[in-house]
């Protein structure tokens, strides 16, 4: 490469599309994008059993409060707004975690966790039975014409948060419907 071309190279990082936006509060982000997914993947069968035994709200509030202790007192967010809804559809236990009020970009408004209801307890002495697990985040993304826009992120057991699935709904019922439709699409693809 000629020396005059070297002088014209620009190694500065690309412009950040989120520059100027306030980033997620650390406790909010850590709980939604690290701690809770790891907790689910660590033992999805126990997570599912706790869900159907109406223990999940208590467990998640305790986990939220534990995460809070990792941050300065002034940055801690109380767990009183954290809610949990549990139902079943298409052989899956669905847990919707309604997070404390979002205030900044990339804070999850809700997490949707689906675990196959028909696989726990299956025994094969030569292979560990793993339930089917899906985790989605409905997150506050950025403002579009002055209004917050929700996006849906998906998690992978191996890679953590690994993808953006596009614009998401604005409420719990819409999120539950979106999850059901998305899971049905995944299952239809698997049958092909």
Q: What is the pTM (predicted TM-score) of this model?
A: 0.76
Q: Express each pLDDT in 43-67 by its tens digit.
A: 888 888 888 767 888 899 999 999 9
Comparison of pLDDT for 105 and 143, the residue scoring more: 105
pLDDT at position 166 over 80:
no
Give residue 12's pLDDT. 46
Higher pLDDT, 160 or 108: 108
**How does pLDDT run across 114-155, given as a tens digit for each residue?**
988 654 444 445 555 678 888 998 887 766 666 667 888 887
**Residue 118's pLDDT is what?**
53
pLDDT higher than 60, residue 96: yes
For residue 133 the two structure tokens come to 């697990």
Q: Give residue 6's pLDDT band: very low, low, confident or very high (50, 70, 90).
A: very low
Q: 74-86: per-residue pLDDT in tens?
A: 888 899 999 999 9
């Amino acid at each position: 490469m000629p020396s005059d071309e070297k002088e014209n190279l620009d190694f500065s990082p690309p412009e950040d599309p989120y520059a100027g936006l306030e980033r997620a509060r650390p406790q909010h982000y850590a709980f939604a994008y690290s701690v809770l997914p790891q907790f689910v993947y660590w033992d999805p069968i126990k997570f599912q059993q706790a869900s159907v035994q109406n223990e999940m709200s208590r467990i998640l509030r305790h986990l939220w409060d534990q995460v809070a202790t990792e941050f300065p007192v002034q940055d801690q967010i109380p767990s009183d707004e954290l809610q949990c809804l549990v139902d079943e559809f298409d052989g899956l236990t669905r847990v919707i975690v309604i997070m404390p009020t979002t205030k900044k970009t990339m804070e999850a408004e809700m997490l949707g966790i689906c675990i196959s209801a028909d696989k726990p307890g299956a025994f094969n002495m030569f292979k560990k039975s793993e339930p089917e697990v899906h985790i989605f985040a409905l997150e506050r993304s950025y403002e579009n014409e002055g209004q917050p826009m929700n996006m849906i992120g998906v998690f992978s057991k191996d890679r953590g948060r690994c993808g953006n699935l596009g614009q998401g709904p604005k409420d719990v019922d819409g999120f539950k419907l979106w999850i059901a439709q998305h899971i049905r699409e995944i299952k239809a693809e698997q049958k092909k």
